[in-house]
Amino acid sequence: MISFPNAKINLGLNIIRKREDGYHDLETLFYPIMIKDVLEIVQNNTDCSISKINSSELNLEFSCTGLLINIDTSNNLCAKAYDFLKKDFPSLPSVKMHLHKNIPMGAGLGGGSADGAFTLKLLNKKFHLGLSKEQLINYALQLGSDCPFFILNEPCFATSRGEVMENISIDLSAYQFIIVNPDIHISTAWAFKNIIPSIPKKSIKEIIQQPISAWKNELINDFEIAVIKEYPVISEIKEQLYNAGAVYVSMSGSGSSIFAIINKDNKFKNNFPENYFVFTI
């Protein structure tokens, strides 16, 4: 069985406070973007490959093509998703899992989170586990704060760690998206250490209801200041995209990807270096 985990962007991202459990309360608007990985799961009847995850022995064979990733199953969200379900469903059979990676890593596009969440959904469907959407969201939150969004995979306003979600009606059909990743990997842990949480003057939920022309001055990503200080090229990319006619440009997540919202009749020309990942959607 095959599925196609897709990326996301954040329309605004405010880090409000650090919680006692070490996580952060935030608010953001998650928006799915159709840059996709490919995930295939088949039953492994040979039962021959044993991977150790959190000291439990699992019959899991994992392989990957495309962009180079660390396939150590102890840190792989696809493998962890299998682990969580295997513990609660001991009869879950051995599987072979193959991931073809297209979404850049450490890029603020949620590629790893999508892969983990889609693994939960695919295992649930393939092996008829009968998990509800709410149950899948609970498993996804154990994988990471961005993962619950990919269970819904629709535009939504998110709060708390990102798992409290409200569907939002937003029409961006008149625009195209340009995604630019300068081949810089940014650690989410590093990004959180370098920001100061604060309560925003105006909620993203309120800002997003305004005309898109007003977003430039109000819809912000709290991670940008620290990331741009460390990587000034992020600011240069933003300026270049605005000069190309974008109506709104922002960094997604903790970076380093920048997205631009541009009118569909704008004939965007890619003048970025060859080592950059540039997607037009």
- For 67-135, give the DSSP string: S-----GGG-HHHHHHHHHHHH-TTPPPEEEEEEE-SPSSSSS-HHHHHHHHHHHHHHHHTT----HHH
Please determine, for residue 49, whether its predicted confidence score (pLDDT) is greater than 80: no
Q: How confident is the model at residue 71 (pLDDT cuts 50, 70, 90)?
A: low
Please determine, for residue 146, whether its predicted confidence score (pLDDT) is greater than 80: yes
Q: What pLDDT shows up at residue 56?
A: 40
Residue 213, domain extent: 175-280
**CATH number (domain holding residue 99):** 3.30.230.10
Percent of the chain scored above 70 by pLDDT?
A: 94
Within-domain flag for 30: yes
114 & 233 share domain: no
The residue length of the chain stands at 281
Q: Can you tell me the mean pLDDT for 206-218?
A: 94
Of 81, 90, 185, 180, nearest to 136 by C-alpha is: 81
User: For the sheet containing 248-251, what is the strand order?
Assistant: 248-251, 258-263, 175-181, 277-280
Measured CA to CA in angstroms, residue 177 lies from 32, 180, 214, 239, 248 at distances of 11, 10, 18, 16, 10
With 0-12 CB in 10 A as exposed, 13-18 as middle and 19+ as buried, what is 108?
buried
Q: What pLDDT shows up at residue 50?
A: 42
213 & 153 share domain: no
Within-domain flag for 179: yes
Helix pair angle (77-88, 111-126), 10° resolution:
30
Between CA 17 and CA 117 the distance in angstroms is 26
142 & 224 share domain: no
195 & 118 share domain: no
Collapsed DSSP state (helix, strand, coil) of residue 212: helix
Collapsed DSSP state (helix, strand, coil) of residue 281: coil
Between CA 97 and CA 94 the distance in angstroms is 10
8 & 135 share domain: yes
Instruction: Write down which residue in 137, 165, 193 finishes a domain.
Output: 165
44 & 15 share domain: yes
Kindly report, residue by residue over 99-124, the tens digit of the pLDDT.
999 999 889 999 999 999 999 999 99
181 & 230 share domain: yes
Q: How confident is the model at residue 72 (pLDDT cuts 50, 70, 90)?
A: low
Please determine, for residue 48, whether its predicted confidence score (pLDDT) is greater than 70: no
pTM > 0.85: yes
198 & 144 share domain: no
Within-domain flag for 10: yes
122 & 201 share domain: no
Q: How confident is the model at residue 68 (pLDDT cuts 50, 70, 90)?
A: confident
* Average pLDDT, rounded, for the chain: 91
146 & 98 share domain: yes
Within-domain flag for 98: yes
Contact in structure between 154 and 167 (CB atoms under 8 Å)? yes
Residue entry with tokens 């961005």: 146
27 & 108 share domain: yes
Q: Can you tell me the mean pLDDT for 241-252?
A: 96
Kindly report, residue by residue over 160-181, the tens digit of the pLDDT.
999 999 999 999 999 999 999 9
Instruction: Write down which residue in 165, 191, 210 finishes a domain.
Output: 165
Please determine, for residue 74, whether its predicted confidence score (pLDDT) is greater than 80: no
Collapsed DSSP state (helix, strand, coil) of residue 148: helix
**CATH number (domain holding residue 192):** 3.30.70.890
Q: How confident is the model at residue 59 (pLDDT cuts 50, 70, 90)?
A: confident
Q: Can you tell me the mean pLDDT for 194-217?
A: 93
What is the total count of domains within the chain? Answer: 2
Q: What pLDDT shows up at residue 54?
A: 36
Within-domain flag for 170: no
Residues forming the active site: 8, 146
Instruction: Write down which residue in 140, 165, 190 finishes a domain.
Output: 165
Within-domain flag for 263: yes
Q: What pLDDT shows up at residue 88?
A: 96
Within-domain flag for 239: yes
17 & 145 share domain: yes
